[in-house]
């Protein structure tokens, strides 16, 4: 736990970048979701849209009592810069002290990838050896790096619409992983025969046909958190045991599930349980080798706080970061 005499630590994106391995991120995030499954508070994401200049301002928060940390994550995307910046404030859950501020840019794909990997570990078959990834950006790389730590994949198929992107992704990840990583020409070619499928795109429409999924497959969808956008089609949702990161977001911004409800193939009663409930053993995960499972990951403060506190502890151990001073309210709010 943190020392109350410590100041507030500022960690740059560069300082965060090399602090932890994908496996360490997964361990921290899995523990965070276990606490959530046992009642740890987490708030629904807030997303504010601006028309002119066009942009999105987003934030979410969580308290992890056993970790001893709580925090909020905020970022702005678009606007005049047509770019994004991420900031995370990390507090001590016992004292309320502001422990750290982190530039979240470099660790974002790692903590998001660790969430997807936690879903795979909780819901995919233990003997899963074939992985399909739809998408080839930074988030897809984060998902692959983390997921490769929870299952021993032999083959990984990569599809994204741009040939150069998927081929360069496959080439670089082939050097990094023990699995054979190859680019394929269609999403159907990636998904058929895959034990695990990960979607990490910005697509507004389904990126594969749910009829192509093999019995026993697991799907992690992490590319969308919008009520009118859906990477997964209604067939996939209808065929699957559906597990979101937060139940509260399902009818708010889980577009794939909302679409399936609108098509009349499922209802809110078909939400099996939150990921944390599965991790904590409060609800069962996979119950047979032939059932299809879906983890719908929209992003929460759970993985953010869990990962940030892990980085904070490592930074303290390695004497990294810059000390900042913040006033106590009892000292600053004098009314004078």
Other beta carbons less than 10 A from residue 189's beta carbon: 17
Would the CA dihedral through 114, 85, 82, 48 be positive or negative?
positive
Sign (positive or negative) of CA dihedral 303, 304, 310, 311? positive
Per-residue pLDDT at 331: 83
Cα 132 → chain centroid? 17
Q: Report how far apart, in Å, the C-alpha atoms of 280 and of each of 30, 231, 258, 284, 295 are.
A: 9, 28, 26, 9, 15
| E strand or H helix at 144 | helix 138-147
Characterize 24-36 residue by residue with b for buried, 16 or more Cβ atoms within 10 angstroms of its Cβ, and e for exposed: bbbbbbbbbbbbb
Domains in the chain with CATH codes: 8-108+301-332 (3.30.1780.10), 124-296 (3.40.50.720)
Are 296 and 257 in contact by the 8 Å Cβ rule? The answer is: yes
The pLDDT of residue 5 is: 55
64-91 as b/e: b if 16+ CB within 10 A: beebbbbbbbbbbeeeeeeebebebbbb
Helix or strand holding residue 262 (H, E): helix 255-262
**Predicted structure pTM score:** 0.94
- Which helix H or strand E contains 96, and what residues bound it? none
Q: Which residues contact 282 (CB under 8 A, 6 or more apart)?
A: 37, 38, 273, 276
Task: Supply φ then ψ for residue 74, to 5 degrees.
Answer: -135, 145
pLDDT value of residue 335: 60
With CA atoms as reference, report the closest residue to 86 among 33, 138, 147, 20. 138
Residues 6 or more apart from 232 whose CB is under 8 A from it?
Answer: 199, 206, 207, 210, 219, 221, 256, 294, 296
Classify residue 63 as left (phi > 0), alpha (psi -120 to 50) or beta: beta
Tell me the C-alpha distance between 135 and 107, whole Å: 19
Q: What whole-number distance in Å separates Cα of residue 5 and Cα of residue 170?
A: 48
Per-residue pLDDT of the chain (336 residues; tens, 9 = 90+): 455 557 899 999 999 998 999 999 999 999 999 999 999 999 998 999 999 999 999 999 999 999 999 999 999 999 999 999 999 999 999 999 999 999 999 999 999 999 999 999 999 999 999 999 999 999 999 999 999 999 999 999 999 999 999 999 999 999 999 999 999 999 999 999 999 999 999 888 999 999 999 999 999 998 677 788 899 999 999 999 999 999 999 999 999 999 999 999 999 999 999 999 999 999 999 999 999 999 999 999 999 999 999 999 999 999 999 999 998 888 887 665
């Amino acid at each position: 736990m943190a020392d109350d005499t410590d100041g507030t630590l500022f960690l740059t994106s560069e300082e965060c970048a090399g602090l932890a391995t994908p496996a360490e991120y997964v361990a921290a995030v899995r523990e965070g979701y276990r606490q959530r499954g046992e009642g740890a508070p987490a708030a629904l994401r807030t997303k504010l849209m601006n028309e002119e200049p066009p942009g999105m301002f987003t934030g979410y928060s969580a308290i992890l009592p056993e970790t001893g940390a709580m925090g909020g994550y905020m970022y702005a995307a678009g606007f005049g810069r047509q770019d994004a910046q991420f900031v995370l404030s990390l507090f001590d859950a016992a004292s309320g002290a502001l422990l750290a501020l982190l530039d979240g840019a470099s660790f974002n794909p790692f903590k998001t990838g660790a969430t997807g990997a936690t879903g795979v570990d909780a819901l995919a078959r233990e003997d899963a050896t074939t992985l399909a990834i739809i998408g080839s950006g930074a988030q897809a790389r984060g998902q692959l790096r983390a997921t490769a730590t929870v299952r021993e994949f032999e083959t990984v198929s990569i599809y994204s619409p741009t040939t150069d992107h998927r081929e360069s992704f496959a080439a670089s990840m082939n050097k990094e992983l023990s699995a054979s990583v190859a680019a394929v020409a269609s999403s159907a070619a990636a998904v058929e025969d895959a034990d695990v499928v990960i979607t990490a795109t910005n697509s507004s429409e389904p990126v594969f046909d749910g009829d192509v999924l093999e019995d026993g497959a697991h799907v992690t969808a992490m590319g969308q958190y919008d009520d009118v956008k859906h990477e997964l089609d209604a067939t996939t949702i209808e065929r699957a045991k559906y597990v979101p990161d937060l139940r509260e977001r399902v009818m708010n911004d889980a577009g794939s599930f909302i679409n399936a409800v609108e098509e009349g193939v499922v209802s809110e009663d078909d939400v099996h349980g939150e990921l944390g409930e599965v991790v904590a053993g409060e609800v069962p995960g996979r119950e047979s080798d032939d059932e299809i499972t879906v983890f719908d990951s929209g992003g929460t403060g759970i993985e953010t706080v869990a990962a940030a506190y892990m980085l904070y502890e490592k930074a303290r151990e390695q004497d990294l970061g810059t000390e900042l001073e913040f006033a106590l309210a009892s000292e600053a709010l004098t009314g004078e």
